[in-house]
Amino acid sequence: MSENKGLRLILAYFLLAVYLIPAAPLKNPSQGMSVWATTVSLVERLSLDISWAENLLDEKHVIKRSDGKIYAKQPPAAAFLAAPIYAIARIFLGNANESNIFISWFILRLWLSTLPLLFLAYWLYKHDTDEISLGILLFANPILVYSLLLSTSVLAACLIYFAFRLVYDPQRIFLRYCLPAGFICGAALFCFPSSYLLIIIIGIGIIFAERQERLYSLSVFASGILPFVVFLLIYDYFFAGSLLYRFEWESFGTFLYTQLISPKHGLFFYTPILFFSLLLLLISHERRSLRHRMKTLIILGSLFYFCLSKPSENFVLEEFVLLLPFLMDSFFDGELYDRSNLWLGAVFTVSLLFCLLPALNFPFIPEGFKYPHNTLWPRLLLEQKVLATNLTALFGLKSNILYILPVLTIVLFAFYQVLVSMRKPQRFFFGAVIGLIIAISYLFLLNLDKPELRQQRSIIAERYF
C-alpha cells in the first residue's frame, strides 16, 4: 500500500469528522445527550444522577426512579472515559450551560466516537491494509454516521474487533493474549451491553484451540471480562432495579427484511458493498482456519440475532456497528483488491453516497419516511436548503447549503486516493460512473414523495437546523 495514499485517506476522514456534526446536540434524539449529561454529572457533581438535565434528554435513553432521580440506560463506562477530557475542557468553558453545550458535546464526540475509528484505521494502515479497504471503513458504511454522533457503539466495535485480532491472528491461541483480550471485551461490554453475544462467540472459539490448556485459556479470557460483568450487574440492579431488562427482544417476523434489505433501515441497502463480504466468507483463502470460522459465526449469528431488535429512529440499527469491522475483515486482508472491476466501483460509489447523505443533514428517520434517500435527505438539501450542523456553527453561522462544498471537496479527494490505488483504475472508474447514475436515479429521479411528507420536512428543518 502507498504510504501517502493511506495517510491521506485517514486525514480526509478526520477533516470530515471535524467539519460535520449531524443533528445539533440539544436536538439530538440519540443516546448521546445522556452520555454527555452523565459525564457532566461525574465531573461537576460527583454523581451519576442526571435529573438536572431532564429537559434535554430523550425518555427512551434514561431510567426514571420513583425517588425522582434519573440515570442513563447506557452504563457509565463512556462517561468515565470522557470525564478527564471534559474536566480539561471545563477549565476553558466553565460549568455546563446552554451556551457551551454545543462545544462540550462536540469535544466528547471527537474523543469517544471519532478517535476510536481513526485509531482503528491507522492500526490497519500500519498492518498494510490497502486503500480500497480503508476507504470503505472510513467513508462507505454506517460507521461513518455513528462516528459523527456521541455513540458508544463505535468504541465498542473497535475494542471487540481488536480483541478478536489479538486472539485469532496468530497461528495458535496464546495464553498471554487471552487476559488482555478478555479485559478489552469486558470494557466493550460495559460501554455497549449489546456486544455480549460477540464476546461469547469469541470465547467459545478458544475451546476449539489446538492446545492442551484451552480450558485454562478460556478461564483466563473470562477472568478479564468478569470485573466488567460485575460492574454492569451492579449498575443495572441499583440504578435500573432489574438484572434482565436489557435482554428484551421482539418476535422475528418481518424484521429480517426491515433490518437488512429495506430502503429505510436495511444494512445492505445502505452498504451494498457488504455483499462482497458475504461472498468472501464462502471463497476466502483462509476459510478452513479457526479464525475464519469464528468470524463467520460472529457475523451470521449476530446478524440474525440483532434482526430481532425493533427498528428505532436510527437509519441503520446501531447494534450492526459492532459487526461492521468483522464484515470488512476480508477486505482488510486484501481479498478485495484483486476484484478491482466495474462491479466494485459501482457498489463502492453507491455505498459511499448512501452513507454520506444521512451525515449531511439528519441521520434519523421520522415515521412516514419509508424511502428516506428519496423523500427526506436530498429534499432537505434542495428544498429546505439545510445542511448538517457543522464547524461553522461554532462561529455563530446558520446552516447553509453552500457549506456542502468542503464536504464534497474532502469526499472527492478521498475517492481519488482510492481510485488511483486500484489495480485496474479505469474499470473501477467506469463502475463508479455506473454507480453514480444508479444512485442519482434513485435519489432524485424517482418520485416517491407525498404531500404530507413535505410538511414534515419543513418542521424537521425548523426544529433541527
Q: Identify the pLDDT of residue 346.
A: 95
User: What pLDDT, on a 0 to 100 scale, did the predictor assign at position 3?
Assistant: 56
Beta bridge partners, 37, equal none
Q: Are 112 and 80 in contact (CB under 8 A)?
A: no
Residue 122 pLDDT: 96
pLDDT of residue 24: 59
Q: Which of 43-52, 247-256, 330-339, 381-390 has the lowest mean pLDDT?
A: 247-256
Query: Residue 221 pLDDT > 90, yes or no?
Result: yes
Q: pLDDT value at position 212?
A: 65
Q: Which of 94, 129, 145 is nearest to 321 (CA)?
A: 145
pLDDT digits (tens, 9 = 90+) for 323-373: 999 999 999 988 887 766 889 999 999 999 999 999 988 788 888 899 999
Residue 393 has pLDDT above 90, yes or no: no
- Residue 59: the pLDDT is 77
Q: What is the pLDDT at residue 222? A: 95
Average pLDDT over every residue of 219-240 = 89
170, 177 contact by CB (below 8 A) = yes
pLDDT tens digits, 421-464:
998 899 999 999 999 999 999 999 888 988 889 989 988 888 77
Residues 62/66/67/70 CA torsion (nearest 10 deg): 0
Tens of pLDDT, residues 86-110: 999 999 988 888 778 888 999 999 9
Are 146 and 318 contacting, i.e. CB atoms less than 8 angstroms apart?
yes
DSSP code at position 240: I
Mean pLDDT of 229-233: 91
Q: What is the pLDDT of residue 69?
A: 87
For residues 408 and 1, the model is more confident at 408
Phi, psi torsion values for 308, nearest 5 degrees: -75, -15
Residues 266, 351, 463, 452, CA torsion sign: negative
Q: What does the pLDDT read at residue 371? A: 95
Average pLDDT in the chain? 88
The residue with greater pLDDT, 214 or 36, is 36
Name the residue with higher pLDDT: 32 or 117: 117
Q: What is the mean pLDDT of the segment spanning 183-201? A: 94
Q: Which amino acid is at 320?
A: F
Q: Strands 70-72 and 62-64: what pairing?
A: antiparallel
The full DSSP string for 396-434 is: TPPP-GGGHHHHHHHHHHHHHHHHHHSSSHHHHHHHHHH
Distance CA 138, CA 9 (A): 8
pLDDT of residue 367: 85
d(CA 418, CA 352): 12
pLDDT for the residue 28: 61
Look at residue 241 in the predicted model and tell me its pLDDT: 58
Confidence tier at 176 by pLDDT (50, 70, 90) = confident
CB 351 within 8 A of CB 176: no
Only one residue has cell 444508479, namely 438
What confidence score (pLDDT) does residue 312 get?
64
Q: What's the confidence (pLDDT) of residue 245?
A: 52
Of the listed ranges 184-193, 309-318, 365-374, the one predicted with least confidence:
309-318
Which pTM does this prediction carry? 0.93
Confidence of residue 236 (pLDDT cuts 50, 70, 90): confident
pLDDT at 320: 94
